[in-house]
Amino acid sequence: MTKKSAHPKAPDVSLPRASATELRGRQSIRVAFKLTPRCIEAMNILGSHLRLKPKSLFDHMVQEPETLQVIAARAQALDLEEKPRTAKTYVISRDAAEILDDVARSHSVARDALVEASVQHLVPLIQKEQVRHSSRKNLAARMAHHLDDGRQLLGEMVGDLGDHDPMCDQMRNVMAAYERAYATLTAFIHKGDNIEGFNTDG
């Protein structure tokens, strides 16, 4: 009788190996840009509303080469020399930095202008978020009225049934959960108030 092995042989599975070049491309590096306040504000808005870190935002900018080439052509018309600009350092992937450099060089435009034009290309997303933000505020106001009604109803229950009635206990649980949810939602909405004054027309 053959003796079974206590440690069965692991299946032979070939796993893809990441190359050193791929790993270097994913490295995070700090890159300084000189951008207009409007561009910086737009990036902050996109980050807060779409919950994207700057690194992800820059990765998004360069992920479609054809689109980036079109944006680079638009960047040639941007004149940033006379506009006030602020030095801003972002942590981005090495790949994103190299793609921005290559495309800017091939179109003879400044890398900062390419970033400005790329952010301008994303302004329609801000316009959509402005509409959603307004809707959230209106719905939150309706929630506040609904919450007040719930508080009033709980008070009536306590008055009619007594403080320790099971119905009052359950209603208190409901209201406590509602209060927490409302506080979380309103905090999220207030965090995005920076979108209200942003002029999407440039």
Condensed to tens digits (0 to 9), the pLDDT of residues 13-44 reads: 555 555 555 555 568 999 999 999 999 999 99
CA gap 72, 107 in Å, rounded: 7
Q: H-type helices in 63-110, by residue range?
A: 65-75, 94-106
* Nearest-angstrom CA–CA distance, 8 and 112: 58
Length of the chain as a residue count: 202
**Residue 88 contacts by C-beta under 8 Å, 6 or more apart in sequence?**
32, 33, 34, 35, 40
Model confidence pLDDT, tens digit, residues 68-80: 999 998 888 887 7
Let me know: does 56 contact 90? Beta carbons within 8 Å.
no
Task: Determine the Cα angle at 44 with ends 36 and 124, to 5°.
Answer: 85
* Per-residue pLDDT of the chain in tens (202 residues, 90 and over written 9): 555 555 555 555 555 555 555 555 568 999 999 999 999 999 999 888 888 888 999 999 998 989 999 999 888 888 777 789 999 999 999 999 999 999 999 999 999 999 999 999 999 999 999 999 999 999 999 999 999 999 999 999 999 999 999 999 999 999 999 999 999 999 989 988 889 888 888 6
Q: Domain map of the chain by residue range?
A: 25-121, 129-195
**In this structure, are residues 72 and 104 in contact, taking their beta carbons and an 8 Å threshold?**
yes
Measured N-to-C along each axis, helices 111-121 and 54-62 cross at an angle, to the nearest 10 degrees, of 90
Residue 160, SS3 per DSSP: helix
3-state secondary structure of 143: helix
